[in-house]
Amino acid sequence: MTIGQTVFLNGAFRPVGEATISPFDRGFLFAHAAYEVTAVYDGKFIDLERHLSRLRRTLDGIAIPNLYSDEAWAEIHTDLIDKNGVEEGLVYLEVTGGAYGLRDFAGPEIFEPTVFLYADARPLIGDVARDGIKAIFLEDSRWKRRDMKTVQLLSQALAYRAAREAGADTAFMVEDGYVTEAASANAWIVDTAGRLITRELSHSILPGITRAGVMDLLKGSGIELVERAFTPDEVRGAAEAISTSAGAMVAPVVMIDGQPVGDGKPGPVTRRIQRLYYEAMGVDVAVVAPWALG
């Protein structure tokens, strides 16, 4: 992980050491902010259009003006990775309700947003994708509008800390007896009949961009997709489990609550989805991820 030394803040590119934000910013005081994380591979963005569409929806949902057209956002993203020399990694974007010199819950009638972006150079395909991750089950304590991608991430941060204390990497969040998501990713299982199952879209989960990309690639693949909620017991009895996100893309979940999922190794459906996703990114799978060819 290498944070780029040039960031974008409020209309200008500047050195990261000179990028300052008011302590009265609503993102700082109220977590009143939207964010997106977009992957970059071989100097190209993965599903940027979908990220920008979700950003528009979130900003509208939390009453923050969208200052840029999709074309302008794309230009800012491209200029940012160019200035930082990022060929592979992530771009983080945050738009807050801005600062106006006081702490007021309702705020002004129209917000003047703070806009911040930075680039993070890192390999996207590595040990996690090859070997898988461990998870725990955890009660989902997040707010009810998880379909909007906001910086209200305390529950997720605490979930990661709880997972680490348990010797795991992430958590499958549970609400009313059903899995909602992983701590910061969409959750999937493969049942013993080979069907791929993930929760249907609603206010309970984020409409993941990687989730949508995977679904596109399933068409014609022969993998049957079922969109419905599933229980922790179904995870325990599953043949495979997966989480999807922009950062980890397609991550096998090989153990949960200390017990192996399936045979405790990434399974054939997971490998096929990884291969399809990597190929769509333009990855030379035989060189970068030969284990996905099995």
Question: DSSP letters of 61-125?
Answer: HTT----S-HHHHHHHHHHHHHHHT-SSEEEEEEEE----SS--SS--SS---EEEEEEEE--SS
Shared-domain flag, residues 146 and 270: yes
Shared-domain flag, residues 57 and 84: yes
Shared-domain flag, residues 159 and 279: yes
Shared-domain flag, residues 135 and 50: no
Q: Which of 81, 101, 121 is the last residue of a domain?
A: 121
pLDDT at 248: 96
Question: 186-190 and 196-198: which strand pairing?
Answer: antiparallel
Active-site residue, from 144, 149, 219, 265? 149
What three-state secondary structure class fits 235? Answer: helix
In this prediction, residues 228-255 reach a mean pLDDT of 98
Average pLDDT, the chain: 97
11 pLDDT above the threshold of 80: yes
Q: Which of 103, 121, 139 is the last residue of a domain?
A: 121
2 pLDDT above the threshold of 80: yes
Shared-domain flag, residues 153 and 183: yes
58 confidence band (pLDDT: 50, 70, 90): very high
pLDDT at 294: 75
199 pLDDT above the threshold of 90: yes
Q: Which residues pair with 232 in a beta bridge?
A: none
Q: What percent of the chain has pLDDT over 90?
A: 99
- Nearest one of 231, 184, 191 to 211, comparing CA atoms: 184
In this prediction, residues 54-70 reach a mean pLDDT of 98
Shared-domain flag, residues 131 and 275: yes
Burial class (CB in 10 A: 0-12, 13-18, 19+), 34: buried
Start-end of H helices in the chain? 26-30, 48-61, 70-84, 127-131, 154-165, 209-218, 232-236, 268-281, 285-288
pLDDT (tens digit per residue) in 273-288? 999 999 999 999 999 9
Say which residues have a Cβ less than 8 Å from residue 122's Cβ, sequence separation at least 6: 1, 2, 88, 89, 90
At 100, which CATH number? Answer: 3.30.470.10
How many residues are present in the chain? 294
pLDDT (tens digit per residue) in 142-163? 999 999 999 999 999 999 999 9
Range of the domain at 140: 127-293
216 confidence band (pLDDT: 50, 70, 90): very high
- Are 278 and 285 spatial neighbours (Cβ–Cβ below 8 Å)? yes
At 195, which CATH number? Answer: 3.20.10.10
In this prediction, residues 261-280 reach a mean pLDDT of 98
Shared-domain flag, residues 216 and 91: no
1 confidence band (pLDDT: 50, 70, 90): confident
Q: Give the Cα separation of 175 and 171 in Å (integer).
A: 13
Structure tokens at 103: 């702490």
- Are 129 and 250 spatial neighbours (Cβ–Cβ below 8 Å)? yes
Known catalytic residue: 134?
no
Shared-domain flag, residues 117 and 143: no
Shared-domain flag, residues 92 and 136: no
pLDDT at 14: 98
pLDDT at 264: 98
Shared-domain flag, residues 115 and 133: no
Shared-domain flag, residues 183 and 263: yes
Shared-domain flag, residues 139 and 211: yes
Question: 133-139 and 170-175: which strand pairing?
Answer: parallel
Q: Find the Cα–Cα–Cα–Cα dihedral 198, 201, 207, 212, rounded to 10°.
A: 60
Locate tokens 């599953």: which residue? 238
pLDDT (tens digit per residue) in 115-148? 999 999 999 999 999 999 999 999 999 999 999 9
Q: Which of 78, 103, 121 is the last residue of a domain?
A: 121
In this prediction, residues 218-247 reach a mean pLDDT of 97
Structure tokens at 150: 């906001």
Q: How many CB atoms lie within 10 A of CB 266?
A: 26
Q: How many domains does the chain have?
A: 2
